[in-house]
Amino acid sequence: MSGRLGPPMASLFRPEVRVSADCSLPSPQYGIVLDAGSSHTSMFIYKWPADKENDTGIVGQHSSCDVQGGGISSYADDPAGAGQSLVECLEQALRDVPKDQHSRTPLYLGATAGMRLLNLTSPEACAGVLGAVTQTLTQYPFDFRGARILSGQDEGVFGWVTANYLLENFIKYGWVGRWFRPRRGTTGAMDLGGASTQITFETASPAEDPANEVHLQLYGQKYRVYTHSFLCYGRDQVLQRLLASALQTHGFHPCWPRGYSSQVLLGEVYQSPCTAGQRPPGLNSSTRVSLSGTSDPILCRSLVSSLFNFSSCRFSLCSFNGVFQPPVAGSFIAFSAFYYTVDFLRTVMGLPVATLQQLEAASGTLCNQTWAELQAQAPGQQAHLASHCATAVFVHQLLSRGYGFDERTFGGVAFQKKVGGAGQSLGRRGGAEACRGLLPGPAGGERPRADATLQPLHAQPPGLPGTTA
């Protein structure tokens, strides 16, 4: 679930990025990005011509590959397995990129919140995984530029750049054969990954907390962007935190459907830094507990609300957990688990979700379903079926009470998997490639120069629920 733009991207992980592309490059060229998320890794191959492609001049996605197995952070106890897991997709890259282009094709791996969490619990294991991944990637004939962990701020800003680049909000190729800057605003970006969630949008006023403000200059235009990443508020970690809370406070799970039960290994529940604070003293990690669902939407909503602190705020406005956020305004794209959650409600459940009230009602309807009813409604989707209620309630709470969308502003939110005329996928690390150098190049009737300055793209100290991710 990623929307990658392209190369050369070597400066992505430096505090300041200045990029200008050169349209005299050979045609076509390729770039490879491995998007190492918390739950899985995807490979994207991009292709771009020296002048323009399909009369758009926008970088095109050439092919993609989903890596089998979990994210690279799941290989903490088997670092070599992390590198080996990438081989099948890398072999595909050898076939998809012309052989004479191999040595000049940049190859990157960007990891996000899953590896940030691993770095918190075991820096040694984190280094081992990155080392093993690097060893594998350097065995291929591509121009390897690094395997790094992105900060939460990077993740949010890059997703925003990707969305607006693909929507042609920065620059557009006109029918008269010239590039021009569209006279329209930018679109906000919201991402719900496995371990963290990000919100990023352009704002006119300075942020009360400088840590949430990034200044960009793209195609001669300056942008002031608000961004924040919440570690432990990604879908998978939220589900683990709800599970830990249900075990301690109820002895049953109100968000699970009635008729569904699971044998829960306590050691797995509390192994994440996101749930470590809930770990009971003297816990036997090998103990298994049987937990059953009760299909209780009201109690589920209360359980989800307990994940947020809506009362603490030292600024004029906050989202939650004391984090400054200006009011949301304008259009937004919500992708990754935002999209999949809403898509399940409207396509599988057949429920309207065009308004906040409808989203809340749809969540309640879903949470009232028994396990048998859900299985009949969504045959073949048992893997995540029991968790859809909790995720839907969380999405509604996050958007309405967390980010502050009301019925009016919610109307500007588009839940999308793909964007742009080429139908390119959006994802958590999306804009990384644009910021690393594939912003179209020189002036005149060709592509305008793109000097991209991102400040400050430094990694914030990682924290637990509610802090910068």
Q: Residue 32 forms beta bridges with which residues? A: 45, 107
CB atoms within 10 A of CB 346: 16
Residue 365: count of CB within 10 angstroms of its CB? 16
Give Cβ neighbours of residue 265 (< 8 Å, ≥ 6 apart): 285, 286, 287, 288
* H or E stretch covering 418: strand 418-419
E-strand stretches of 161-241: 172-173, 179-180, 188-192, 196-202, 213-218, 221-231
- pLDDT class for 420, splitting at 50, 70, 90? low
The mean pLDDT value for 257-266 works out to 96
Over residues 268-284, mean pLDDT: 91
- How many CB atoms lie under 10 A from the CB of residue 464? 17
**Other Cβ atoms closer than 10 A to 328:** 22
At the topology level, CATH places domain 235-306+332-411 in: Nucleotidyltransferase; domain 5 (3.30.420)
Helix orientation angle between 113-121 and 123-137, rounded to the nearest 10 degrees:
130
For residue 142 the two structure tokens come to: 């591509």
Reply yes or no on whether 155 is catalytic: yes
Element (H, E) at 35: strand 29-36
Q: Identify the CA nearest to 143 among candidates 109, 106, 88, 191.
A: 106
Token pair 């009232």 is found at 368
Every domain of the chain and the residues it spans: 235-306+332-411
d(CA 149, CA 155): 10
Say if residue 374's pLDDT is above 80.
yes
Are 321 and 314 in contact, with CB atoms under 8 Å apart? no
User: Higher model confidence: residue 257 or residue 18?
Assistant: 257
Rounded distance between C-alpha atoms, residue 168 and residue 399, angstroms: 26
Q: What is the mean pLDDT of the chain?
A: 83
* pLDDT interval class at 135 (50, 70, 90): very high
Nearest CA-CA partner of 186 in 154, 230, 150, 216: 216
The share of the chain scoring above pLDDT 90, in percent, equals: 63
Helices (H), 312-468: 337-343, 356-367, 371-377, 382-385, 388-397, 407-410, 432-436
Which residue among the candidates 91, 155, 407, 446 is catalytic per the annotation? 155
**Cα torsion 275, 279, 285, 288: sign:** negative
Model pLDDT for residues 9-37, shown as the tens digit of each residue: 322 322 233 333 443 444 688 889 999 98
- Residues in binding site for ATP: 194-198
Q: What is this structure's pTM? A: 0.83
Identify the residue whose tokens are 């998997």. 417
The secondary structure of 245-281 as a DSSP string is HHHHHTSSEEEEEET-EEEEEHHHHT-STTTGGGPPT
